[in-house]
Structure 1
Amino acid sequence: MKSIHKSFGKQDVLTDISLKVPRGEIYGLIGPSGSGKTTLVKMLIGLESPDSGTVEFKGSPLKAAAVYTSVGYMAQSDALYTELTAKENLNFFASLYSLKKKDREDRIRSVMKTVDLLAHLDKPVALYSGGMKRRLSLAIALLHDPEVLILDEPTVGIDPVLRKQIWEQFQELKGKGRTLLITTHVMDEAERCDRLGLLRNGTLLGSEEPSLIKEKYGVSSLEEVFLSTEVH
């Protein structure tokens, strides 16, 4: 992203945002509610266009076709067909991603194992709890083994044990050269990111390692950094 500006009506949502995420990095985005995180994420996948500035992917202007095949996206709200089973949802998205039929079964079982839902593969999504729906949404984002994962609050409603397992999977993906951009309100997750972008009132206040951000604010925890952005 280079010099991004975005407003809705008279409301400025993003102001002069410049951001670069290198391959093989886990980049975290934190900030109070309403700071512009979701708008920024939508711009990275082409769901929103900037009023000015440019968004590039792998050195070229962002194009939906490139994002579609190379990026896995998990929205803040689950986009699932609740009348279908989990397997039917996954098969539908696999067809959108043009996954070959012979590979689908293996990929579906693999991602459902990752999010600990393999036993619930044939259950209608209407019977899933909120946390199970989040995990299924994450499985869908992982389904086509994308180069880049963009995850908006991926672990909301997920218990601490499974969150830990999912973050271990994120680290494995990073080890395979995948790139992850994750928005979160969970400060121990933010600590696990290689770098953090700190958004407040549509402005990027910093883009550094978690330890450097704490040092900059003169505090001992990211929670204190987060709270300081809420009150100022």
Structure 2
Amino acid sequence: MTDYQKQSPMQAIEVNNIKKSYENKYALGQPDSKEGISFSVSQGELFGIIGPDGAGKTSLFRILTTLILPDSGTASVDGLDIIKDYKEIRNRVGYMPGKFSLYPDLSVEENLKFFASVFQTTIQENYYLIKDIYQQIEPFKDRKAGALSGGMKQKLALSCALIHKPSVLFLDEPTTGVDPVSRKEFWEMLKRLKNQGITILVSTPYMDEARLCDRIALIKEGKFIGIDTPENITAGFNKTLWSVQSNKMFKLLTDLRSHPFIDSCFAFGETHHITLKNNDLTINNLCRWLQQKGHEEIIIQEIKASIEDCYMQLAQNG
């Protein structure tokens, strides 16, 4: 257990053995195990759920925001039970679902006023909380929400989720389909919100965003395969990792996977990342072997593991 995990601040989210299935297909938990999803999030923490589409992230978020019931297990948000205290939880949390869910025929300002009125507050009362975000879209306040760009829709949705001053903020894949500049701006906003004491649970399929969280949980097929700080996750990668390129990248993937000393090989953008079964293979030996296979312009480098490398290793072992 890390020093980070030994600390015992107040818990904003507590989840114990939550399981959920749809027509006998498990979204959270495993059919052959009594254990479901369990984790906790401290007050004021920025916690990330990292995994691909279909891993169970949205089901988990819908359970914690009291939109659906779990099959089994218990959970609390802000000290309140998700079943017994669902009405109070809905008053205390902000939720930004993965799909744009505001009213496309209402203007930017009308959407914000509507959500403020639902929670019996006003834009003016909590404007300080959304000021940095809303100021970027305020020049377009009369534009229909459905006509906004992806990044502007994202900012409006976040403003609506914050307008009632929630203590816990749930963001389900908030940057999916958004341009890189808007993604960067969005995470800078989250850091500012965290500094104001808001607990944030965010899910994302983008592994590079994991490093921006205080702690992360890696999820695969409804099961957590690792929970820790991003730094500890990558520090736990225990195999030699090489990046390999050649002039025949598709053939290279097949050839590398056939080598007896290579444990795993995955495509990572313009390169392939490989791990070794032992230290009997050297870079020079692999380079010569690839040349014999007809490869040219070969580049092989030892690299440090990313979150995505760790995910692939944990997923393979799990």
The answer to whether the superposition gives a TM-score over 0.5 is: yes
Flag the structure with higher helix content: 1
Highest Rg: 1 or 2?
2
Q: 1:103 is paired with a residue of what secondary structure?
A: coil
CA contact (8 A) 1:7 1:14 kept: yes
Pairwise mapping of residues 14-163 of structure 1 onto structure 2 (< 5 A)?
Answer: 14-15=28-29, 16-62=36-82, 63-100=85-122, 103=125, 111-113=133-135, 116-163=136-183
Shift of 1:230: 6.5
CA contact (8 A) 2:51 2:220 kept: yes
Aligned to 2:223: 203
Q: Matches of 2:214 and 2:131 in 1, distance apart?
A: 29
Alignment match of 1:13 (pick from 16, 27, 31): 27
Aligned to 2:307: 222
Question: Structure 2 vs 1, CA of residues 136 and 194 (structure 1 numbering), >3 Å: closer, same or farther?
Answer: same
Q: Matches of 1:102 and 1:180 in 2, distance apart?
A: 23
Question: Structure 2 vs 1, CA of residues 209 and 107 (structure 1 numbering), >3 Å: closer, same or farther?
Answer: closer
Flag the structure with higher strand content: 2
Q: Write the letter of the residue equivalent to 1:60.
A: L
1:151-174: CA deviation from partner (whole Å, max 9, x where unpaired)? 011122333333323222211221
CA contact (8 A) 1:134 1:157 kept: no
Deviates more, 1:200-209 or 1:100-109: 100-109
Q: 2:165 is paired with a residue of what secondary structure?
A: coil
Q: Write the letter of the residue equivalent to 2:73.
A: G
Shift of 1:101: 6.8
Q: Matches of 1:67 and 1:146 in 2, distance apart?
A: 10
* RMSD value, Cα: 2.2
CA contact (8 A) 1:24 1:178 kept: yes
Larger RCO: Structure 1 or Structure 2 (Cα < 8 Å, ≥ 6 residues apart)? 1
CA contact (8 A) 1:17 1:204 kept: yes
Q: Write the letter of the residue equivalent to 1:56.
A: S
Q: 1:21 is paired with a residue of what secondary structure?
A: strand
Q: Write the letter of the residue equivalent to 1:221.
A: S
Unmatched tracts of structure 1, length 5 or more: none
Q: Matches of 1:123 and 1:197 in 2, distance apart?
A: 38
Number of residue pairs matched by the alignment: 230
Question: Structure 2 vs 1, CA of residues 229 and 37 (structure 1 numbering), >3 Å: closer, same or farther?
Answer: farther
Q: Matches of 1:186 and 1:228 in 2, distance apart?
A: 17
Q: 1:47 is paired with a residue of what secondary structure?
A: coil
Aligned to 1:3: 17
Question: Structure 2 vs 1, CA of residues 229 and 132 (structure 1 numbering), >3 Å: closer, same or farther?
Answer: farther
Q: Matches of 1:135 and 1:65 in 2, distance apart?
A: 26
Q: 1:24 is paired with a residue of what secondary structure?
A: coil
Question: Structure 2 vs 1, CA of residues 91 and 31 (structure 1 numbering), >3 Å: closer, same or farther?
Answer: same
Shift of 1:27: 0.2
TM-score by length of 1: 0.90
Question: Structure 2 vs 1, CA of residues 220 and 105 (structure 1 numbering), >3 Å: closer, same or farther?
Answer: closer
Q: Matches of 1:117 and 1:75 in 2, distance apart?
A: 20
